[in-house]
Amino acid sequence: MFPSTSLASVFLVLFLCLNGVSSSSTPTKIGKGYRLISIEETPDGGFLGHLQVKQKNNIYGPDIPLLQLFVKHETQDRLRVHITDAEKKRWEVPYNLLPREQPPALNQAIGRSRKNLITVQEFSGSEFIFSYKADPFSFAVKRKSNGQILFNSSSDESDPFGEMVFKDQYLEISTKLPEYASLYGLGENTQPHGIKLYPGDPYTLYTTDISAINLNADLYGSHPVYMDLRNVNGQPSAHSVLLLNSNGMDVFYRGTSLTYKIIGGVFDFYFFAGPSPLAVVDQYTTLIGRPAPMPYWALGFHQCRWGYHNLSVVEDVVENYKKAQIPLDVIWNDDDHMDGHKDFTLNPINYPRPKLLAFLEKIHSIGMKYIVIIDPGIGVNSTYGVYQRAIANDVFIKYHGKPFLAQVWPGAVNFPDFLNPKTVQWWGDEIRRFHELVPVDGLWIDMNEASNFCSGLCTIPEGRICPNGTGPGWVCCLDCKNITKTRWDDPPYKINASGIQAPIGYKTIATSAVHYNGVLEYDAHSLYGFSQAIATHKALQELEGKRPFILTRSTYVGSGKYAAHWTGDNQGTWENLRYSISTMLNFGIFGVPMVGADICGFYPQPTEELCNRWIEVGAFYPFSRDHANYYSPRQELYQWESVAESARNALGMRYKLLPYLYTLNYEAHMSGAPIARPLFFSFPSYTECYGLSTQFLLGSGLMVSPVLEQGKSQVKALFPPGSWYSVFDMTQTITSKDGQYVTLDAPLHVVNVHLYQNSILPMQQGGLISKQARMTPFSLVVTFPAGASYAAANGSLYLDNDELPEMKLGNGYSTYVHLYATTNQGTVKVWSKVEEGKFALQKGWIIEKVTVLGLDGSGQPSALEVNGNPVVGASKVGLSSMEQKYHEDVQVGDIKKSVAVEVSGLDIPVGKDFSMSWKMGTSR
């Protein structure tokens, strides 16, 4: 939460202009690069080489004279290229935070002896070929199957970039790109041009709290990975490139090239072969960690606000949601529950513990949950037990041997050092103590970039209170002086921090501050939120042995293994509603699938119409939460009757889809597959959708096409080739032969959601709380291409005890159902194959209804059999059909008449294999 940075930004720009900081002075080509002087094979099947600088220069500091190159095909679809100083260990992302293979130890003798044991210039694996040129050294990565060059670091005279540069505080490397490559990723930032990277836009990676309203700026997370999707002669292929480096960097994308300029660390490239977008994310999350399993309730709707001044307000919110019949699973507190904004405390007047415990007992009894915020800054206060124990355990980041002093909401704070094992232990103990005070169901870790209201070296002022309780709490009131005397605080190359080339210590921890084992904040800065999420996850899991739920603002490569993410402080504007889709889709690519934006905007208050449209999008975010600013008027969904109606409609559908969303959550945990996906994930051959940022898929075939513009009651939506069925009205069909845009009606309370052909969608009846909705009967929706004589469809359903830390089959507390259907010359079959059926049988779940869409409509359904037994007239099972309607914008052409057939009154146990069939009969 951070109300406004605009005024601070204005002053900062003025400061920078006066001090003559400019990126335009950056030399385009620096030095002559390196030459390869030795290369040999390593025992583990890799290649080890040494590079010597060709001609030294002092632009951005002296060159590192000798480098070690290590190349290895780590798996059949992953290639690693690691380049570091050959003589001295350099900073890398810690191997204990992000477990991976270690490169060979530095061996100075090889480089000096100029061994040249291998003259081969190509190094082939299953999917990739690594090739190199020796002088000046450059490398290329090719796809083995077709020879396509995916990465090429060589520089020609005509290129706008030079040879590889490797200095202590400045690393540069580039790759050529074909013009037809579509790139995605490089976040976190708010991208005004949509999900595709846009040539000329700045991409700076350095975790910063400047609010998501800032476009094209480095925001809360750092994800130095991009996906590259190409379509050559109708053949699509995707690959991904990760540069595993936590130092600040600028990435310059020019359309035909991409250049990294990094202020430290090493080159540690990982290439993922794909070739499908889903395969890329699978391979990526195999390395960085599979996304965390979410508890079932986390997929329900969440309500939060900064400014719930006391417990009675929170109680009213819960009651009003119930009165308005709007689903609600989780109620949140921002820092209002705290005593003086201090972590792990309760305000004794506004949130008295006995009353809060009674409230929690009441909501827990019906399945609702409660989550509160924790900021990393620990208030400097000698009477505060958390601070006392922190000092006793020596857990804080240091500056000149003393805890680094900063200011956040409690006033003066110190920041815990989560790279220190002692800190992780202390943090876990504080969470345990707090949970004994208040049995919260999850934790929200915010302000962990880390955010600081001051800059530089600060002291607590004498003779005045800081903060004094008047005016905004985010104004710095400590006595501070700038720190520019070290090369860490004032590096030779200035990244475009905060989008305005701010000093890298601006409003965060000074970069010359020191972590555990002498690690500099300069190197570890962007890992702060990631390391806090790991510590928080460990603490929650040890607490009660339950599946943790953590929401974090700051993220890094691998954060999805521990936490969900929301997109930070957005605005209640139509533009911000649109931007939220691109940011959400990016995080799926980053391996953080549980993501969403503040519904209706964090500040200022949205219009009634915008809030209507926002809940129609937000109801389908993987993480769905309404959240607002302290200074904004109230915007809970029941505040306007029109918004309440839209919420009942959209969230009503979400709650029916919970079994599908939970199955997607399982798939994300098993394979990294994003929950919300760009359309190109399912339609990589259809280039029209490569830049589409106004629609999205949930899973492989459920498409959301929302209204994103003011005053519109229609939406122009792209329909890739095939048949699509409205889930709100299953008689409505859109079949586009080659893909086309269709204008859909979308009055104020309507959002268009369509299911693609060849799918089987498991649904339930919904409810106001996921715990209740979860026990209602199931229905299956089967979709075939409209009027097809032969077709097959499939789907799946995963069910488990969602409190268990692990999400897996084989533990006796989970069931997986494979769903299949075919139509073949008038015979329709639907059946299942169940793995581990015991859990579902114990729960008593049943399938009550099966609806099949797109059947050849020339005959009537008859001869229904369930599990091999004919269904006779006296049975309560009913068989009915209804003709489907085609959209007026779509040229139906040679598509046959199609019908929807519904089988109702069933009582099929979910945990047992079943089969059913019927005949479509002959035309009357």
Highest CATH level, class, for 678-920 = mainly beta
- The residue with tokens 């070929």 is 129
List Cβ neighbours of 273 (8 Å cut-off, separation of 6 or more).
76, 77, 78, 79, 127, 128, 143, 239, 279, 280, 283
Question: Which of 897, 891, 887, 573 lies closest to 717, judged by CA?
Answer: 887
Query: pLDDT tens-digit profile of 592-603?
Result: 999 999 999 999
pLDDT band at 923 (very low <50, low <70, confident <90, very high): very low
pLDDT band at 463 (very low <50, low <70, confident <90, very high): confident
Helix, strand, or coil (residue 324): coil
What value does the mean pLDDT of the chain take? 94
Catalytic residue among 343, 446, 800, 836: 446
Give the pLDDT score at 892. 58
List Cβ neighbours of 635 (8 Å cut-off, separation of 6 or more).
572, 600, 605, 606, 611, 626, 628
DSSP H or E segment with residue 854? strand 846-856
Report, as an integer, the average pLDDT of 433-440.
98
Query: pLDDT tens-digit profile of 14-39?
Result: 333 333 333 444 568 999 999 999 99
pTM beyond 0.85: yes
Query: pLDDT tens-digit profile of 50-59?
Result: 999 999 999 9
Q: How far is CA 779 from the centre of its chain?
A: 30
Any idea what the Cα angle at residue 752 is, between residues 751 and 755, rounded to 5°?
Answer: 140
Is 417 labeled as catalytic in the residue annotation? Answer: no
Q: What would the 3-class secondary structure string for 72-103 be?
A: EEEECCEEEEEEEECCCCCCCCCCCCCCCCCC
Same topology between domain 33-288 and domain 678-920: yes
pLDDT band at 215 (very low <50, low <70, confident <90, very high): very high
- What is the rounded distance in angstroms from the CA atom of residue 468 to the CA atom of residue 413? 15
Higher pLDDT, 513 or 887: 513
pLDDT band at 3 (very low <50, low <70, confident <90, very high): very low
Say yes or no to pLDDT of 144 above 50.
Answer: yes
Q: How far is CA 597 from the centre of its chain?
A: 11
Query: pLDDT tens-digit profile of 837-856?
Result: 999 999 999 999 999 999 99
Report, as an integer, the average pLDDT of 898-916.
97
Report, as an integer, the average pLDDT of 867-873.
91
pLDDT band at 6 (very low <50, low <70, confident <90, very high): very low
Catalytic residue among 188, 268, 521, 569: 569
DSSP H or E segment with residue 236? strand 235-243
Give the pLDDT score at 5. 42
- The residue with tokens 């210590």 is 505
List Cβ neighbours of 161 (8 Å cut-off, separation of 6 or more).
28, 29, 155, 172, 174, 257, 259
Report, as an integer, the average pLDDT of 686-693.
98
Is 316 labeled as catalytic in the residue annotation? Answer: no
Say yes or no to pLDDT of 4 above 50.
Answer: no
Catalytic residue among 63, 282, 449, 802: 449
* Fold entry, domain 296-640: TIM Barrel (3.20.20)
DSSP string for 375-435: -SPEE--TT-HHHHHHHHHT-B-EETTEEPEEEETTEEEE-B-TTSHHHHHHHHHHHHHHH
Query: pLDDT tens-digit profile of 397-430?
Result: 999 999 999 999 999 999 999 999 999 999 999 9
Helix, strand, or coil (residue 174): strand
Say yes or no to pLDDT of 449 above 70.
Answer: yes
Q: Taking the domain 33-288, which CATH number applies?
A: 2.60.40.1760
Q: How far is CA 446 from the centre of its chain?
A: 16
Query: pLDDT tens-digit profile of 61-119?
Result: 999 999 999 999 999 999 999 999 999 999 999 999 999 999 999 975 554 444 544 55
Query: pLDDT tens-digit profile of 720-731?
Result: 999 999 999 999
Say yes or no to pLDDT of 184 above 60.
Answer: yes
List Cβ neighbours of 573 (8 Å cut-off, separation of 6 or more).
601, 606, 610
Give the pLDDT score at 873. 76
- The residue with tokens 């005024």 is 7
| Pairing assessment for the beta strands 915-919 and 898-904 based on DSSP bridges | unpaired
Give the pLDDT score at 18. 35
Is 449 labeled as catalytic in the residue annotation? Answer: yes
pLDDT band at 734 (very low <50, low <70, confident <90, very high): very high
| Pairing assessment for the beta strands 405-408 and 457-459 based on DSSP bridges | unpaired
Give the pLDDT score at 875. 82
Report, as an integer, the average pLDDT of 516-537.
98
Measured in Å, how far apart are the chain's first and last C-alpha atoms?
A: 65
The one-letter code for the residue type at 344 is: F
Query: pLDDT tens-digit profile of 238-254?
Result: 999 999 999 999 999 99
Domain locations in the chain as residue ranges: 33-288, 296-640, 678-920
Give the pLDDT score at 11. 38
Instruction: Report long-range pairs for 431-435 (Cβ below 8 Å, ≥24 apart).
Output: 431/344, 431/536, 431/539, 431/540, 431/543, 432/539, 432/542, 432/543, 433/344, 434/344, 435/543
- What is the rounded distance in angstroms from the CA atom of residue 358 to the CA atom of residue 137? 68
